[in-house]
Structures are given as structure tokens and as C-alpha cells.
Amino acid sequence: MRSRQRMFAAVMRLLLKCLRLGRRRRFKLVRQVEQLWHYGHLCLRSLLYNSFTNGDVVLDSLFEPVYWLVDHVTRWFGVVFVALVIGLTSSIVAIVYICLLPLILQTYTPAWICWHLAYGHWNLIMIVFHYYMAITTSPGHPPQAKNDLTGVSICRKCIAPKPARTHHCSICNRCVLKMDHHCPWLNNCVGHYNHRYFFSFCLFMTMGCIYCSISGWEMFRDAYAAIERMKLLEKERLQVAANQTYYQTPPPTFSFRQRAFHKSVVYLWVLCSSVALALGALTLWHAALITRGETSIERHINRKERQRLQKKGKVFRNPYSYGSWDNWKVFLGVDVPRHWLTRVLLPSPHLPHGTGLNWDLPPCVMEQRAPLLAI
């Protein structure tokens, strides 16, 4: 009996000893993991610490893979976007010529027919001309040599002189003179030499879409009602055919040509109205920038500069703004009154003022303004 008690006590002591040993090992392992964690954290902070690092730098670093993905996707899909613009525009023009123009010639008065033909073809010519020029015209790039370039900085990516208002495009991988943005619908940058073509294309495309939406409103209502009537009659026809034999099935109520006509009118109105809203908002945005003498990139730069100087009690002044009216004259290249007709209302391949390397006072500006950043 005593031998059994001794054996049981020995087993219990051995078990308690094993438990204490396991607990010590666990505590030792936890301490080692904690030490390794603190050591790794200290090494990481010692390698990455920078006194200039703030929340903006960290956010930009986190979004860097997103920027890289957008840049590469935009570069490869530019051709697809251009083909999409050409395809959609061509489909609208084809519908107008095949479906709407014969109806206009049959129902409208001669005066309205002349107005539609004149305005429609003029608008189409302006759209095609400015889109072609915006795609094929280079936005302008600064020379790689430093000859005759005064007051320039150095691009951190190109390691080359960068004149005023010039910015680096990560998609084109080049510096662009007076860069506004990279447009995937053009597969090209919008810069000094094609900024006017881009804005004119947006303006005339918006005008064309509004013209089609307003002119085709009554046709759209009739076509939509006809499509709803076709769906109802088709449903009734199928219900009747279900109770009859194959040879007693009634013929279709509407022909294929009628269905295609009504659906084409609905497609035209919906597409033109959607583009008019989206592109119209973009056109108004760029019109406001042109009125202030800014580009899309300069707006953000000037806003930060305005806030910085405001804290110091100073007033920011844009050195490239000559007043609302003169800004439009400089942008459109209007030097004399007749240019409003020959250069604005008619297709014109004239070059903008200046070379994009320096920004002297244009000849169309009547009053010179002091090019001061702050007063």
C-alpha cells in the first residue's frame, strides 16, 4: 500500500516538474519573440526614418502602385479609347444620314431643311477637324540641350531642362510644354500646341450632342412608345401562338426595318444626351480654367500657393493671366477681329502664341500686367 502511494507521489512530482519546465519554456519563447519584434521594428524605423516624412508622403507611397497601374493601363488602352470615340461618332452620323435625314427632307419646311443641313455639316466638320488635329499634333516638348533656356529648372525624371509651365508626363515619359493633362480619349498629351484643338473638340462635340438631343426629342418619344407597343404585341402574339399549331402562328406585327429604325433613334438620343451631360461638364470646367489663364495642373499649384501666401498676408497673382477676355484671345489666337471667323468659327491650323519656352506678352493683349507672383 505504501509502495503504491510512493509511486503515485513520484509520478505527481514528475508531472508537476514537467509542467513547470513547459511553462518556463513557453515564457522564454514568448520573450524571444517579443525581443525579435522590437528589434525588427527598431531596424525598420532606423532604415526608413526621415524628418521630412508626413502623412502626405506616406499616402503617396501607398498609392504609388495604383499610379503605376493607371499609367501603364492608360498607355496601352489609349488606342482602344480612340477607336471607341471614332466608332461611336461614326454610328451616330450613320443613323442621322440613314434614318433621320430622309425623314427631315420629307416633313420639314425648306427653311428648316437648309438650317439643319448647314448647321449639322458645319458642326460635323469642326468635330472631325479638331479631333484629328488634337490626336496628330504633338503637344510640344522642351529641347534636351540647355541652349537659350533661361530661368528653367531640371526635371527629376528626365534630368533635362524644364521651362516654365512644363511638366513631366509619366504616361508619355516625356516633359510636355504647358501640360494640361494626358487624355486617354486622344491617346496624347494636351499641351501647348494642341490645347486649343482639344478644347474646340470638346466644345463642338457638346454642341453637336445637344443639337441631336433637342432635334430628336419628338422622334425619341415616338420611337420609345413604338418599342413598348412592339413588346406588348409580341407578348400577346406569343400567348396566342401557344394555343395554336405551327401553321397558324401569325406573322410578326413589325418588320425588321421598323424595329431597327426605332431602336436606332433611341440609341442616338440616349448616347447624345449622356455625352452632352458628361462632356459638357468637362467643357465648362476647362472654360473656367482658360478664363483664369490656368491649366489643370496649374490650378492645384496656384491654389496651394494662394493658401501659403494668404497666411503671410500677401495676395497671389497669376503671372500668366491677362484678364478674362484677353486670356480667351490668347488661347484662341485672335489677333484681329476677323480671326473670330477665320480662326474660331472655321477650321484653322494656326499655331498658338509663343513657343512654350518663354511667355512674353502676346500682341493681342492691350494692357500689360506685372508678372508678379505675390504683392
Arithmetic mean of pLDDT, 99-126: 91
pLDDT in tens, 211-227: 999 988 988 998 888 88
pLDDT in tens, 223-234: 888 888 888 877
Arithmetic mean of pLDDT, 117-125: 95
Residue 311 covered by a domain: yes
> How far is the C-alpha of 216 from the C-alpha of 101, rounded, in Å?
11
By residue range, what is the domain housing residue 192?
62-243+254-354
Query: When comparing pLDDT for 254 and 375, which is higher?
Result: 254
Residue 109 covered by a domain: yes
Query: When comparing pLDDT for 32 and 102, which is higher?
Result: 102
Q: Cell 503671410 sits at which residue?
A: 312
Q: Cell 444620314 sits at which residue?
A: 97
Spell out a b/e string for 142-154, using b for 16 or more CB atoms within 10 Å of the CB, else e. Answer: beeeeeeeeebee
Confidence tier at 71 by pLDDT (50, 70, 90): low
Query: When comparing pLDDT for 9 and 79, which is higher?
Result: 79
Query: When comparing pLDDT for 39 and 74, which is higher?
Result: 39
Residue 215 covered by a domain: yes
Which pLDDT value is given to residue 372? 41
Which pLDDT value is given to residue 234? 73
Which pLDDT value is given to residue 375? 34
Residue 40 covered by a domain: no
> How far is the C-alpha of 345 from the C-alpha of 192, rounded, in Å?
21
SS3 153: strand
State what percent of residues in the chain have pLDDT above 90. Answer: 40
Residue 54 covered by a domain: no
Residue 283 covered by a domain: yes
Confidence tier at 373 by pLDDT (50, 70, 90): very low
Arithmetic mean of pLDDT, 247-270: 78
Which pLDDT value is given to residue 197? 97
> How far is the C-alpha of 296 from the C-alpha of 231, rounded, in Å?
48
Which pLDDT value is given to residue 72? 66
Residue 10 covered by a domain: no
SS3 168: strand
Which pLDDT value is given to residue 319? 87
> How far is the C-alpha of 170 from the C-alpha of 71, rounded, in Å?
7
Q: How many CB atoms are closer than 10 A to CB 203?
A: 19
Q: How many folded domains does the chain comprise?
A: 1
> How far is the C-alpha of 313 from the C-alpha of 15, rounded, in Å?
79
Which pLDDT value is given to residue 131? 97
Residue 60 has pLDDT above 60, yes or no: yes
Residue 281 has pLDDT above 70, yes or no: yes
CB 242 within 8 A of CB 309: no
> How far is the C-alpha of 203 from the C-alpha of 186, rounded, in Å?
15
> How far is the C-alpha of 115 from the C-alpha of 129, rounded, in Å?
21
Residue 374 has pLDDT above 50, yes or no: no
Spell out a b/e string for 216-249, using b for 16 or more CB atoms within 10 Å of the CB, else e. Answer: beebbeebbebbeebeeeeeeeeeeeeeeeeeee
Residue 83 covered by a domain: yes
Where in the sequence numbering do the catalytic residues fall?
Answer: 183
